[in-house]
Amino acid sequence: QCKHKGYEVKAENSYTNYCVRQASNPRDAKSYDTQRLRNEYLIEKIMAPGEVNWTYTTIDRFLVGGAMPTDTPLKLTSIEPLYVDLSKSDNGRNLLDNREIGIINVGGDGSVTVDGKRYDLAFQEAIYVGKGVKEIIVASKNAQNPAKFYMNSACAHQSYPTKKVSLKDAKNIIAGSAAESNDRVIHQMILNGVAGVRTCQLQMGITELKSGSVWNTMPAHTHLKRMEVYFYFKVPEGQSVCHIMGEPQETRLIWTGNEQAVINPEWSVHCAAGTSNYTFIWGMAGENLIYNDMQVVKITELK
């Protein structure tokens, strides 16, 4: 991934890399082979020690990234395709000049410092940071057990306050059943109206599957007003998650590993079965903030 022409990884600075993915048409996507599907939709490198890795997709201009600070804190910078004002070197280059971001820690204890104010983020704690913030610095408490910050960012037209959200503050929805192998809890974390969070476009949360359950998002759905990215983590060593995407009657599969993500366009379902249970972060953005605004596909109608 990101090795082929047009998909190269570029360096923004000594610790920040990015690659760009273009939006795709389902009429084209149905003829993609395995490697092309992976090039377009799978993000394999997100967490690397001492690095910030971004993937910018032109689907809803969504930005997906990972920051893994070790000994030294890392400042989150913008990337060249997102500079707001090319004429000034010191202006229009803050990541959140025109954006909002959600950050969830999937590693050891860490902190996110937003314009000088520090928020400690433990495993599976989240923070929303709104448009207009100038400086975000992420750090690990212990370089031997580094924090891993998974990040989703979308365009924003308004500034909303920074807000930390823990699992106990989240809206926790019990879904599925053991008999259907999809017994899970959907934690809605960065959702407009949940835990006092306000957002422009962004919605993020964590879904945890119980031991013995392997299916997420079944029955599957599309949402024609929002795109969505799934980031799989806590995938046990030696196990894998088979992510299913594509139009409901034209599905394709992408095998994913631990701490990898899949970009799902508006026209695509997004669901998966793992070879064990696992946890994932879902993040989406688009036209509305109504979580339930989705077109559910009958299980028997998937092809």
Ligand X SMILES: O=C[C@H](O)[C@@H](O)CC(=O)C(=O)O
Binding residues for Zn(2+): 221, 223, 228, 270
Stretch (H or E) spanning 35: helix 34-41
Among 61, 99, 163, 184, binds ligand X (CB under 6 A): 184
Closer to ligand X by CB, 112 or 281: give it: 281
3-class SS of residue 5: coil
Range in contact with ligand X (rule: CB under 6 A) among 72-80, 93-101, 162-170, 215-223: 215-223
Q: How is residue 181 written in tokens?
A: 């192998």
Among 43, 74, 170, 186, binds ligand X (CB under 6 A): 186
Closer to Zn ion by CB, 203 or 260: give it: 203
234 interacts with, out of Zn ion, ligand X, none, CB within 5 to 8 A per kind: none
Q: How far is the CB of 22 from ligand X (least distance, A)?
A: 23
Instruction: Please report whether residue 105 would count as binding ligand X according to CB under 6 A.
Output: no
Stretch (H or E) spanning 27: helix 26-29
Instruction: Please report whether residue 282 would count as binding ligand X according to CB under 6 A.
Output: yes
Residue 176: alpha-carbon gap to chain centroid: 23
Q: How far is the CB of 276 from ligand X (least distance, A)?
A: 16
184 interacts with, out of ligand X, Zn ion, none, CB within 5 to 8 A per kind: ligand X
Judge whether 81 and 22 are in contact, CB under 8 Å: no
What's the length of the chain? 303
Closer to ligand X by CB, 131 or 270: give it: 270
Instruction: Please report whether residue 243 would count as binding ligand X according to CB under 6 A.
Output: no
Instruction: Please report whether residue 181 would count as binding ligand X according to CB under 6 A.
Output: no
Q: Residue 7, Cβ neighbours under 10 Å: how many?
A: 14
216 interacts with, out of Zn ion, ligand X, none, CB within 5 to 8 A per kind: ligand X
Question: What does the alpha-carbon distance between residue 40 and residue 22 come to, in Å, rounded to a whole number?
Answer: 8
Q: How is residue 274 written in tokens?
A: 């793992």
Name residues whose C-beta falls within 8 Å of residue 88's C-beta, 6 or more positions apart in sequence.
none
Closer to ligand X by CB, 180 or 301: give it: 180
Residues that bind Zn ion (CB under 5 A): 228
Question: What does the alpha-carbon distance between residue 76 and residue 237 come to, in Å, rounded to a whole number?
Answer: 30
19 interacts with, out of ligand X, Zn ion, none, CB within 5 to 8 A per kind: none
Give the torsion sign (CA, 20, 57, 262, 136): positive
